[in-house]
Amino acid sequence: MIKADGERMESIKQRHMHELFLYKQRLRKSPQLRRLFLELTLRCNENCLHCGSRCGDVKSEEMPVQAYFEFLDKIKRDFSPKLPMLCITGGEPLLREEFAEIMGYAHKLGFKWGMTSNATLIDEEKVQMLKDTGMGTISVSIDGLKETHDTFRRSKGGFERAVRGIKLLMQGGFQEVQVTTVVTKKSLPELDELFELMKELDVDSWRVIGIEPMGRALELQDYFLSMDEQRKMLDFIRAKRREGWPVMYGCSHYLGLEYEREVRDWYFLCNAGVYTASIMANGNITACLDIERREETIQGNILKDDFTKVWKERFEIYRTPLWEKNEKCRDCRERDFCEGGSYHSWDFDKNEQRVCFISEGAQSEGASAL
C-alpha cells in the first residue's frame, strides 16, 4: 500500500511538472515581470564570508535619487496596472542615506515592496519609517546560533542585534517577517535549536537554504554540504512542513521527484529573466542579483537604456534553457523539469551546473549532488 501511494504521488508530480514544462515554454516567449529587485547600495555593515555580491566596507557606485524617481515613474507608466513587486536589497539597504526618500516615493506611486536586511540597524525610529513608507515584507538573515552567526557574518554582536531588530519589527505590527538561514557544515547541527528560536520569535516563515557556490562562497569549500548533509537539511524541512510549520526551502534548485513539492509550496522554476529582473546599484540591468556579474549576464543600464525595451527584447540568455549548453544536461532524464538548473549557480566559463541534485556526474567544484 505504501509503495502504491508513493508511485501515485510520483505520477502526480510528473504530471504537474510536465504541465509546468509546457507553461515555461510559453513563459519564455511572453515573460511576466512580477518582481523587480533594486540594489540600493553595495555597502554593508557586515562582511559575510559567503556574500554573493562581495558586499561590505566597499566603494559603491550609487545612482542619484532622481534617477530612481524617473525609473519608478517609467515602470508605473509601462507596466500598470500589474506593477511588479519591488524587492529592496544591498549590501545593507538601510545604509542608503536616501532610503526613506526613495521608498516613500515608490509607496506614493502605489508599488508594493519588501526588503532583505540583516536587521542590525533597525530601531524604533526605523520601524516607524518602514511603516510610513509602506514596507509589506522583510526577510532577515539568521545564519546560525550566536557564535556561528557572528563568525559567519564577521560581525561581533550581529546575532543579538538581528534578533532585537526582528522583535522590534514584530512589535511594530509587520505581518510578514521572514527569517532566512544559509545552512553550512557549521550550522547544520544547530537546526533544531534554531527552530526553537523561530518559534520563540513567532516569525511568519523560516526559509532554509544551503550555502551556494557564488561570490565569496566559492572560496569556502569547507563550508559546503555533502550529499548526506543536503538530505538531512531537506528531510528536516519536510518534517517540519508535515507538522504544519511555515518552514520552506528557497527557490534555489530542482530537487528531483523525492523532494519537489515536499519542501516548498510548488515546483522548481528559475525566475531569472522570466518573472524577475534586477537593477544593480550602478544602474546595470540583470535578471537575478545572485547571478555572476559579467558582460553576457548584464543586459543594459537604466541610465542609458530603455528598461521596458530591454525586458521585452533582450534577456535571451535567460530565456534559453541552460541544458542546451551542456552535454550531461542534454542527456538527463529530468531535463525538461530542471532545464539545466538555476542561473545563479551556473558556471559560465565551463558551461556546466555547479549544483545538481540529480546526477553525481554533474558535480563540480562547490557543488552538491543528490
Residue with cell 526582528: 166
pLDDT in tens, 249-277: 999 999 999 999 999 999 999 999 999 99
Q: How confident is the model at residue 230 (pLDDT cuts 50, 70, 90)?
A: very high
pLDDT in tens, 44-99: 999 998 887 777 767 789 999 999 999 999 999 999 999 999 999 999 999 999 99
Is there a contact between 261 and 307 (Cβ–Cβ < 8 Å)? no
| d(C-alpha 59, C-alpha 279), whole Å | 17
Q: Taking the CB of residue 304, how many other CB atoms lie within 10 A of it?
A: 7
Q: Determine the length of the chain.
A: 370
Q: List, in sequence order, the alpha helices (H) in the chain.
A: 2-29, 65-79, 99-109, 124-132, 146-152, 158-171, 191-201, 227-242, 307-313, 327-330, 335-338
Q: How confident is the model at residue 3 (pLDDT cuts 50, 70, 90)?
A: low
Phi and psi at residue 292, to the nearest 5°:
-55, 135
Beta-bridged to residue 276, according to DSSP, are: 35, 272
| d(C-alpha 16, C-alpha 158), whole Å | 42
Burial of 323 (0-12, 13-18, 19+ CB in 10 A): buried
| d(C-alpha 83, C-alpha 309), whole Å | 16
- Rounded to two decimals, the pTM is 0.93
